[in-house]
Structure 1
């Protein structure tokens, strides 16, 4: 994340999601992976996820309970995280950290099926998954 603090994530629409100084011990990370080339659906996944962060989860983001990361898998510095989640193309993961345990939900198929043509379904499903992991 050249030129940016770890507290900010720049997205393609120039909006910034700020995370609190300290990420809560138990928290949820929303990881959106993409490559250099992105289709309209890929962009819709990012934009709708950002909308969820702002419209539905802004308090949780401020508290560090929810973190949204946009990860370009074409960059060398992101190879390890892409390998960890076995990502080779655009993907969306929701990862919960609770009591030292990590639980990852691969939402890629759901995201591609809904983000562009049924954005409300996508947003509702994403919010539900995040909230379930926060419990």
Structure 2
């Protein structure tokens, strides 16, 4: 009985974090694709759906705080970009498909000579953003610092 209740709670939590599996028609947003045409940089990408749980909101808040507090100069110069992307909007479908995102996710990517390498930090984010925000912020900052080298 306890396992059934736990399974139901987990299913409800995942549904609240996701975009309920809805697909929108494909279109391209110039603002969303424009940064890919710029110079070498590091991007912190936070994806979310229409509905967000407390942990999802903590991921965005704490990731943004970490980046803004420790990398203000890089943000200003454009060598670091923080982007929040609502995957429930049709104009963001292309980027969501590129990263294979269907619910709240956190990625860090490095663009060098027009080529991208990225890392999915979603598990780390869900494990730490709300329950250990300082650990989460330090981890995100360390990952960004490594990629900026």
Which structure features the higher share of strand residues?
1
Give the paired residue count: 114
Unpaired segments ≥5 residues, structure 1: 1-5, 7-22
The list of structure 1 runs, each at least 4 consecutive aligned residues, that deviate by more than 2 angstroms after superposition, is none
Task: Find the residue that maps to 2:85 and give its secondary structure.
Answer: strand
Taking structure 1 as the reference length, what is the TM-score of the superposition?
A: 0.81
Taking structure 2 as the reference length, what is the TM-score of the superposition?
A: 0.73
Residue in 2 aligned with 1:76?
Answer: 90
- TM-aligned CA distance change 1:43 to 1:93, over 3 Å: same
Unpaired segments ≥5 residues, structure 2: 1-30, 32-36
Displacement of 1:85 after TM fit? 0.2
2:46 to 32, 43, 46: 32
Task: Find the residue that maps to 1:109 and give its secondary structure.
Answer: helix
Q: Which moved more, 1:73-82 or 1:124-133?
A: 124-133
Instruction: List aligned pairs for 1:44-123, cutoff 5 A.
Output: 44-123=58-137
Which structure features the higher share of helix residues?
2
The RMSD of aligned alpha carbons is 1.3
Q: Which has the larger radius of gyration?
A: 2
